[in-house]
Structures are given as structure tokens and as C-alpha cells.
Amino acid sequence: MGIVTTFTRLALGSAIMLASLGSVQAQSDDVKIGFIVKKPEQAWFINEQRAATEAGEELGFQVVRLGGEDGQEVLSAIDNLYAQGAQGFVICPPDVRLGPAIMNRAEQYGMKVITVDDQFVTSSGEPMEGVPHLGMSGTKIGQQVGEAIAAEMEARGWDPQDVGALRITNNELPTAVERTDGATQALLASGFPEENIFDAPQQSTDTNGAFSAASPVLSQRGGYEHWVIYALNEESVLGGVRATEQYGLAAEDVIGVGINGSGAAFAEFSRNNPTGFHGTVAVSSTMHGRQTAEDLYRWIAEDQEPSANTETTGTLMTRDNWEEVREELGL
């Protein structure tokens, strides 16, 4: 609750300071939009912003790429866009609970907004209505992960009773909960014992954060012959895999399946020797970036309002097919 209150105060204060910009803002018939992402250094978001820029070059609108890793940075990014004359922005928010405050600010500036990947929620935690969204179906993507793990366990002839499941979690992010819950549902449906699933809460959604979360769980639960790993993204699964390596588990005793289909997965699949990272459910970040940018452009230029909620699913990418899937999805 504190982060939203702080952000709202900042928004109101900045709104007063910048109100005078309205009279001097550059006027132009050209469409300019922003594309704000929470982790601009991650491959997924690099691809999204690049695809949005390419769409703009083809269709004749300008894309301003910005990062917003916390509430203050998002506020500054919106102010920046307003000062540049942008008519709207696509955003993957750093905290979905900031949705109401972000929309208040956008409405002050007369900007249209589309969310990508992570959807705004209200103070009660429900999806925020009235803001078009494009993202993965978290539950369905997670179910694909669980099904892929179950299928590979069967292919290797593993007895589920001898397998521990490392569920790397981030319960503050609804999208993450949907994905890990979906994977858990699929595993349980395949006959995996619920008591063999262990949570590893991560502080950050990257490889280092997952490594730190996974290591103590592996140390405390050392009685399993094999391990499976799942999380909200492939960077987190890779952190779990690195932890199993440090713990001394062989690659053939680990099945990690991530979500995204980015450079992190490509690098892992390109290694000379296979690791415990079995695969990832690849989704086209390129499509996400291009589609949301084009939708926002047409909303601004042609008054074509986008669909309220567009959900995408993915394709299992493994060491055997990753190059073909990468080409097919334009990653």
C-alpha cells in the first residue's frame, strides 16, 4: 500500500510543477508514442521495444523507448513523453498496483495507454478495466510448462516419488502466481505428489535472485534423486539450474522449463554439453512489442480502440528445436 501512496503523492506534485507545459508543448500532426518497460536490460524487453520501433518505421510513427523500474521512474518517463508531445504509451509496469495512479497521470495529460505483459490491478487486486491489455495467458502458459516437465519425466522413466519440484515463486506479481499455479496444476494432474513441491521465494525475478532462493531449499531437501524446476520466466529457472549445479546434481537429474524464449535460453541451448535447462515455453516478445505499438498507433491516428484483453500462448522450445522455433516466432 505504501508504494502506491508514495507514487500518488509524487504524481500530484509533479502534475502541479508541469502543468504549465501544456501551453508550450510542441504541436504536431505526427504520432509519437512511448514504450516503457520495467527491465530495459532484459532480452525480452529489448526485443519488445525494438519491434515497436520497427513497426513505427514501417507505419510512420515515432517510438520513444524508456525504462521504468520503479514508481518514480515511471512518473518521470510519463512526464518526459508529455514534454516531447507523445499522445500515448505502452507500458509493462514495475508494480501492477500502480495502475490507478499511472492512469490518473495519463488522463491528466490526455494520453492513451495500453499495458503489455503485466496487467494493471485495482486496490482490491482485480484486473483494471478500461485499459487495453496484451499479454500471455499466465495459467495456460504455466500449464504448458507443467505438461512439458511431466512428459520429460515420463520419457526419462522417473518415479515421481523420487523427484523434488523446485517452485521458484514471486507472490507479489499476479502474472507470476498464475504461471507457477498453472504449472503446479498440470504436474498434480499428471500424478506428481503435492508434498514433493517446495517453494523458493525470490526477491528479484532474475537469475541471481532465483539462485539465492533455490540454494537453501536444495540444501534442506537433499533426499531426492531428481529435481524439476519451474518459475515465472527462464532467467529464474536458469538460476535454479545453476543452484543444482553448485549443489552437485548432474544435468541428467534435473529438468528445468522456463517461459519466454529469449537470449538467455538461446545461450543455454548453444552450450556444447546439455545442462538441466530442458526447455522453455517460447512466446513472441517481438509480436507483443509490434502488436501493442501498432494498436496504440491506430487508436491515436484512426480512433480504432484495441481489444480489451488479448491473451497469447507459447510453443515448447528445447535444445532439439530451438533454432526452428526461434525462426518461426521471429525471436
Beta carbons within 10 angstroms of residue 64's beta carbon: 20
Reported pTM = 0.69
Q: Do domains 32-131+285-311 and 138-282 have the same CATH topology?
A: yes
pLDDT digits (tens, 9 = 90+) for 75-86: 999 999 999 999
Return the pLDDT at 24: 33
Q: How far apart are CA 36 and CA 113, in angstroms?
A: 11
DSSP 183-212: HHHHHHHTT--GGGEEEEE-SSSSHHHHHH
Q: How far apart are CA 86 and CA 62, in angstroms?
A: 9
**Where do the structural domains in the chain lie, given as residue ranges?**
32-131+285-311, 138-282
Q: What is the mean pLDDT of residues 108-115?
A: 98
Residue 146 near residue 186 (C-beta atoms within 8 A): yes
The three cell numbers of residue 219 are: 540444501
Q: What's the CATH code, domain 32-131+285-311? A: 3.40.50.2300
CATH fold of the domain at 138-282: Rossmann fold (3.40.50)
Kindly tell me if the per-residue pLDDT of 242 is higher than 80.
yes
Place of cell 512489442: 289
pLDDT, greater one: 29 or 275:
275
CA angle 5, 81, 128 (to 5 degrees): 45
Q: What is the mean pLDDT of residues 196-200?
A: 97
Confidence band of 29 (pLDDT split at 50, 70, 90): low
